[in-house]
Structures are given as structure tokens and as C-alpha cells.
Amino acid sequence: MKSILITGGAGFIGSHVVKLFVRKYPDYRIINLDCLTYAGNLENLKEVEHASNYHFSKINILDEDSLRKVFNDFQITDVIHLAAESHVDRSITDPLAFVRTNVIGTVNLLNAAKSFWKNPEGHLFYHVSTDEVYGSLDDGGFFTETTPYDPQSPYSASKAASDHFVRAYANTYKLNMVISNCSNNYGPNQFPEKLIPLCIHNIKHNKPLPVYGKGENIRDWLYVEDHATAIDKVFHHGKSGETYNIGGFNEWKNIDIVHLLCQKMDEILGRESGTSEKLITFVKDRAGHDLRYAIDASKIQQELGWEPSLQFEEGIHKTILWYLENETWLEHVTSGDYQKYYEAHYGH
């Protein structure tokens, strides 16, 4: 039986991966390991929290003893590693927090896997990474799996370092591993510090929409459930030692996304057209702001048969409705209430 340790399962992407695996694979045991930082929230997993094949362990990946124990207690066969500090702006103010969780935490997890899997055959360590490791595309083209690493922010440097450690462990200790590097995700459960949920929240409450610089930076957006199905494909059919880029073939300038959100929300909220656009406020640019990311996802498309299922406008519509319908979730994650919810459910 597979007993899969999914780290960061209470976060944005992790919660969608956990839900997909718990429901789709009733014969697998899914262990969600998460220390519940500000970005982790068990309310994201309400639909599966009582499933018999689901277990939650509140553990920090910096805690080596607890990692060893969880491998042993649950006889872990495979790892899908998503736990990370994920916000670029926070990495600019506190780079060491990113070194600790993203680099040291990943090495701790690799060590736990290496010592528990005496024979690495039949086991897989899957590291979920980002397209930001490739740097910034300032003059056209796409990131492919062979684009040299050129991280530009403390966040992307920490993710690049962790990717390198995963590859080094595969080479040195013969660990089976796969890495996927994905573009910007959006959708339900994303903490409202990231561009899309931040704007939805601020439009709803008539607050300024902070656009960095001139809003001309470009990102390639993918609906989070499509990322989860890509992770499912890579986990089951990816070739050991390989990297897969995941993206939406869906590039947008930030300012165009903000306009789109304003238009859609004016419609949905019954506001006069143009009302929300007045909230747009150009602010100081992010330090070292990468200009453009764009993924060439043809390898995963051709080799594993994956492609995104949702058009952007449809995904944005669903996302706006989700945030409007989940105002309590927003209040919990942005206030101390979430701690109360956690204590009431888990008693510690």
C-alpha cells in the first residue's frame, strides 16, 4: 500500500493536491504534514478531514526527530514536498526564514527519506518547485526544462538551492526523484497577500489596489486544480530523475489582470462599470522585480498527456465567486480567529 507524505498540505496548492489524492486514491494513505504557518489552514481540508485514508500531522520540517518519527509511524513510501515559504515580498524582508524552511527543511526531509528507505527502489521523492528558479525572461522566449537556473530573489534562490539538493541526493544516494517547476497559480484557498486574492479582497472592500511599478510585469497563470492534476500525472507517470515544467500557456501583464478583476467584480457586485478601476494605485516597485515568466509546458503535454482544463476567464470567475462566498475564511486567515478554530478542532 502506498503511504504518501504530502508536506504543506494545509496551504494553497497542497490542499488541492491532498483533496485530489484522498478522493481519487482511496487505497492510498495520505499523511498531510504541515506546521500551519500563517499560510496553512486546516479549513482548506474540511471536505476530507474525516476520510479514513487521511491523516494530519502538525510538524515543522525543521524538526528532524519528528520527521524521522512520522516516516516510521506511517511507513512512508513516497513524498510529495510542497511545504515552503512561498511569498517573494516576504523573502525580501526576511531571507533567512526562506533559507531555513525551503533549504534546510528540504534537506531534513531528504535525510529522513534516505535513512528510512534503506533500499530506495520503489520509493519516490517528488519536489514541487517553481518557474522562478529560471530567472526573468526579459527578451522573449520560454522557460524549458533545460533553461539554466538564474534565480533573482531570495525566494527563488532558496527554491533553486532546494532543487539542487534534491538532484544531488538522487545522484549521490540513488534516491528516485522528480521535480516540477510551475508557473503562477490562482484559485480558492490562496492567502490574500498574492496579487489575485489581494485584489479581489480589496475590490470587495473598496480599498486601493497596489500595482507594483507600471504593472507591466508578465506572469503565466494556471488554475490551481490544473496544477494538482499535473502533480498527479508527474507522481504516477513521471520518469525518475526528470524535471517537468508546468504552465498555462496563459501570459498576462499584471495591470491587465487587475483591469479584468475590476470589470468582472463590477458586474458580479452590480456596481457601475468603471467603479473598481478607480481603486488602482501604482506603488513603488518590488526590489529586483522579475519582468516576465513564461513556461513551455510541451514536455509534460507530450510525454504525460497533461494539459490545463480551464480557460483563464472561467477560472477567474470561479475564483472571484469562491472568495465572495468564503468571506469567513478570509476573516479567519487574516485575523487571530484561525488559531481559535484550530484549538477547537485539535485541542492543542
Catalytically annotated residues = 131-132, 155
Among 30, 182, 196, 203, interactor with ligand NAD by CB under 6 A: 182
Q: Are strands 124-130 and 177-182 parallel, antiparallel or unpaired?
A: parallel
Rg, Å, the chain Cα set: 20
Question: Is residue 62 close enough to count as binding ligand NAD by CB under 6 A?
Answer: yes
Q: Residue 69: in which H helix or E strand, if any?
A: helix 64-74
Q: Decide: is 134 part of the binding site for ligand NAD (CB under 6 A).
A: no
d(CA 57, CA 65): 13
241 three-state secondary structure: coil
Question: Should residue 84 be labelled a site residue for ligand NAD when binding is judged by CB under 6 A?
Answer: yes
Q: Say which amino acid occupies 293.
A: Y
What is the C-alpha separation between 92 and 114, in angstroms, rounded?
32
Report what 342 binds from ligand NAD, ligand DAU, none; CB cut-off 5-8 Å by kind: none
Cβ of residue 199: shortest distance to ligand DAU, in angstroms?
8
For residue 136, give the C-alpha cell: 526573468
Cell of 241: 530523475
Instruction: Choose from ligand DAU, ligand NAD, none: what does 12 bind? Cβ within 5-8 Å by kind.
Output: ligand NAD
Residue 40 interacting with ligand NAD (CB under 6 A): yes
In the complex, minimum distance from the CB of residue 83 to ligand DAU, in angstroms, rounded to a whole number: 12
d(CA 243, CA 128): 10
Give the nearer residue to ligand DAU in terms of CB position, either 77 or 181. Answer: 181
Kindly tell me which of 105 and 276 has the beta carbon lying closer to ligand NAD: 105
- Packed helices 254-269 and 195-204: angle between N→C axes, nearest 10 degrees: 40
- Rounded CA-CA distance 13/253 in Å is 23
What is the distance in angstroms between the CA of the first residue and the CA of the last residue of the chain? 31
In the list 101, 136, 176, 250, the residue contacting ligand NAD (rule: CB under 6 A) is: 101
- In angstroms, the CA 310 to CA 315 distance is 6
Query: Which of residues 79, 107, 112, 128 is near ligand NAD by CB under 6 A?
Result: 128
Nearest distance, CB of residue 285 and ligand DAU, angstroms: 8
In the complex, the residues that contact ligand DAU under the rule CB under 6 A are 86-88, 130-132, 183-184, 194-195, 198, 210-212, 217, 219, 254, 286, 293
Grid cell for residue 344: 477547537
Residues near ligand NAD (CB under 6 A), total: 29
How many angstroms separate the CA atoms of 54 and 275, rounded?
Answer: 45
Q: Are strands 184-186 and 218-223 parallel, antiparallel or unpaired?
A: parallel
| Nearest CB to ligand DAU, comparing residues 211 and 228 | 211
Is 232 an interacting residue with respect to ligand NAD (CB under 6 A)?
no
Least separation in angstroms between CB 96 and ligand NAD: 13
The reply to whether 196 sits near ligand NAD by the rule CB under 6 A is no
What phi and psi values does residue 270 have, to the nearest 5 degrees? 70, 30
Sole binder of ligand NAD in the list 6, 18, 30, 36 (CB under 6 A): 36
184 binds ligand NAD (CB under 6 A): yes
The residues that touch ligand NAD, with contacts defined as CB under 6 A, are: 8, 10-14, 34-37, 39-40, 60-62, 82-86, 101, 105, 128, 130, 159, 182, 184-185, 191
